[in-house]
Chains A and B, each alone.
Chain A
């Protein structure tokens, strides 16, 4: 399993590297887990990458999970239609 841990401040300034690591993870065999436990809040750029990753996972029948979302992050996910 590939675990990607988001930094405290993940946003548009560093979304590029987050995106890259996800693309790479999808190229590998292992399931993917996003860990939000250090994240205070996300911004829309990160959210978009998560949504695209969700789609990709469905298309490739891969397991893509998220954990450790705070109240704020969960609320943000739900605004973008990523409720869980």
Chain B
């Protein structure tokens, strides 16, 4: 007896059993309405579907598939298991029995099925709208993809240490990947692999970073990783465009050395460009060229190489878990040390010249150590943002699916380091922005196709350091923000008068105000009352800012700018009377000395100053803090214009003392009720200066 015959026989026996159980359960369901019965019934039909497909009963398979859909709705509570459904199912069982007994050849079988299916449809339609089917489907690569020829993908694959414990062999996955094309660049990441004697051979340490040249579409590559993607750091990026231009990786590496030389002030930009220009292919190294041209000495290049190594090492070394509370404590203790130092410095002043000089010299050395100590503590707090980004993969997938959209998440710059606290607190705002991009930014596939775009949308999360700040971009390639609609909303909300001029930046800034959104109706996912205003507030409480750029039909970019760390700020020291205050540099717009005629008192708003045609509330800091100032007239003093949460105020001060990096000391032990103060810092001379919280200040005065 051949296998097929045996299989059919096995199936016929199985089906008979299932049908009998189904029948009795259905009848019981009519009386008992027990949910576990519904589950059993569903499972029977599900099993029957699977088996009939395998045994080659195509008609039964198709029919049970539809019944399964119907039952799924009953199971999930969308449909009640009423008389009508039970009747229909019972008749359906008779049909299945007939189909199986006759080997799907009984006369009138097809008509019978059609009739039953119509009844199924009618029941489904009468209760719930059928969700619009996503057009198309996976009918293999599109013509576009076929025509593209070779594509280049940058694939970074890391694996959880315990991945072997799921019976998964990443090597097998990599073999599949390598079989898709030619690997033109390969880096096996062995950094985490310990020494032979120290390694646990049952743990996974290896990763890959490679460029694959292939004719397969992205989807094929995704398929290779499908089962492991969810919880392993894996990224696939189409770099065909880049790859065509910047052929070789070594060049990028060389450039980095060049960049270090520039950053350390050894080379100027011009010199670097000059050196890069004369570099003839891969044989000469930039370091050698720079030395040959006399721009730097051999030692300086060695130094830069050392720096590069250090950077690499920092990524390499694995870690010990430390409670951040302990780090905060350390930082606070360090603050105490600085105070102690200042006190000793004071004593040095009182000593005779020779001994005073010796003491000051010793203190100078100590000072350098403390500074380095502080930097070290700060560096402990820094962690890469990558894992935080990775966790959004699932979120994007699920949310996109809930909207019937196909959206890829691309991640760039996951190695960028941020203060741990910042990373923890940026999660929510990021999630909201991503959700917003999925909900409002990326168009449905049909609309994208009509616009000549890839059916699948892309959201990119990118992070990078620039000028002492960290940037996080949330980029979508969707429809962009409709400024006409936004304007209409703003007018409706009374933020703009009809016809009033408004720059693009101003229009976009309305997005961050409560109650303004361009979605036609509130999407069920990004609605729920949490708006972009909350996002902006969250980011500002991290002393960051958000900026939007958008291009119609091309997409939008939300750029978050954040300080590297929360424990240190770039502050402007200002003096009011004999007190020193610190204003976060990030919130300062400008400082000016107002003219007498620019100061007005406006009803409801109080004192204002006119800055380039706009009125800004004036805050007399000495009043707020109850201290004695040097100047009481605004036109004699200086006014610092600061901005937070979209509004500006002008703060009256006596003098700008200059900017400085400030280590914030928490104020828990001090007593201040003012919301305008966020913390304190100890200045070099031991004095304590309060840090002005612009956010709190604006809220406090607007009451």
Contacts and interface: CB of A to CB of B under 8 A. Distances in A.
Interface of A: 11-12, 15-16, 18-19, 22-23, 26, 42-45, 47-49, 51-53, 55-56, 75-76, 79-81
Contact of B199 (A47, A48, A80, A81): A48
Nearest to A43: B169
B196 A12 contact: no
Interface stretch (B54-62, B201-209, B687-695): B201-209
A16 B202 contact: yes
A80 B186 CA distance: 9
Interface centre among B170, B171, B172 (most CB of A within 10 A): B171
Q: How large is the interface on B (under 10, 10 to 19, 20 to 34, 35 or more residues)?
A: 20 to 34
B204 A45 contact: yes
B262 interface: no
Contacts, number: 75
Nearest to B167: A12
A55 B196 contact: yes
A84 to B, nearest CB: 14
A56 B170 CA distance: 24
A15 B204 CA distance: 12
Given A12-B164, A45-B204, A52 B170 contact: no
B206 A48 contact: yes
Interface stretch (B39-47, B187-195, B573-581): B187-195
A76 B175 contact: yes
A56 B196 contact: yes
A44 B196 contact: no
A79 B171 contact: yes
B199 A15 contact: no
Interface in B159-198: 164, 169-172, 174-175, 178, 186-188, 190, 193-197
B202 A43 contact: no
B195 A55 contact: yes
Nearest to B210: A79
Interface of B: 164, 169-172, 174-175, 178, 186-188, 190, 193-197, 199, 201-202, 204-206
Given A56-B196, A79-B175, A81-B186, A48 B169 contact: no
Nearest to A52: B196
Contact of B188 (A26, A43, A81): A81
Given A79-B171, A79-B174, A79-B178, A45 B202 contact: yes
22 contacts: A22-B196, A44-B169, A44-B206, A45-B201, A45-B202, A45-B204, A48-B201, A48-B204, A49-B199, A51-B190, A51-B193, A51-B206, A52-B194, A52-B195, A56-B197, A75-B175, A76-B175, A79-B175, A80-B188, A81-B187, A81-B188, A81-B190
Given A48-B193, A51-B193, A52-B195, A80 B201 contact: no
Contact of B196 (A45, A47, A49, A81): A49
Given A15-B201, A19-B201, A80-B206, A47 B194 contact: no
A19 B203 CA distance: 12
Given A79-B174, A79-B178, A23 B204 contact: no
Contacts of A47: 171, 206
B199 A52 contact: yes
A10 to B, nearest CB: 11
A52 B193 contact: yes
Nearest to A27: B197
Contacts of A49: 196, 199, 201
Given A48-B199, A48-B204, 20 more contacts: A12-B201, A15-B201, A18-B201, A19-B196, A43-B169, A43-B171, A43-B172, A44-B164, A44-B171, A44-B206, A48-B193, A48-B205, A49-B201, A52-B195, A52-B199, A55-B193, A56-B196, A80-B206, A81-B188, A81-B190
A49 B187 CA distance: 18
Contacts of A51: 188, 190, 193, 206
Contacts of B178: 75, 79
